Homo-oligomer: A and B are copies of this chain.
Amino acid sequence: MLEGDLAMTTAARPEQGCTIHVCTACRRQREDLPEGYDQPGIALAAALSERMAGGDIAVVPVECLAVCKRPCTIALAADGKWTYLIGDLDTETHLDEIVGAAESFAASANGIVPWKERPASFRKGVVARVPPLPRQQGLNE
């Protein structure tokens, strides 16, 4: 293996997994708190980071995914795949489902996981999806 090949292999490794972007800005109404809200994405990002530690799925807290009305919102993304935005997620209720869905997404060829294999929270919570760029789909080649 040439040095150039080795460098390429190393650089490509993260793309074998995926990234979970977690919105830490969106506010959830909480009458029981003095502020009247919490930011559940902060705890979700921390819990996901702990679960994903050492694997090839990156967890990245994000200031704002601009969904706002459906806390917590996350986005699953990977190079050359469809991106999925999912809202209405909660650490206590959905942590295992998010981990499973991210693993399915990472294992998929193009980011599209068959409907039946998606957890209920991902079926109900879909906010939007975006295809990979044309170059990555081979449309410009």
Residues of A within 8 A of B (CB): 11, 14-15, 19, 21, 58, 60, 62, 64-67, 73, 75, 77-79, 83-85, 126-131, 133-135, 139-140
Contacts and interface: CB of A to CB of B under 8 A. Distances in A.
A130 B21 CA distance: 8
Contacts of A14: 134-135, 140
Nearest to A12: B135
Contact of A65 (B11, B21, B75, B130): B130
A49 B129 CA distance: 21
Contact of A129 (B66, B135, B139): B66
Contact of A19 (B11, B84, B129, B133): B133
Given A77-B133, A139-B60, A66 B19 contact: no
A77 B140 contact: no
Contacts of A65: 128-130
Given A73-B128, A78-B133, 15 more contacts: A11-B135, A14-B134, A14-B140, A19-B134, A21-B131, A60-B131, A62-B131, A66-B129, A67-B127, A77-B130, A79-B135, A85-B85, A127-B127, A127-B128, A128-B128
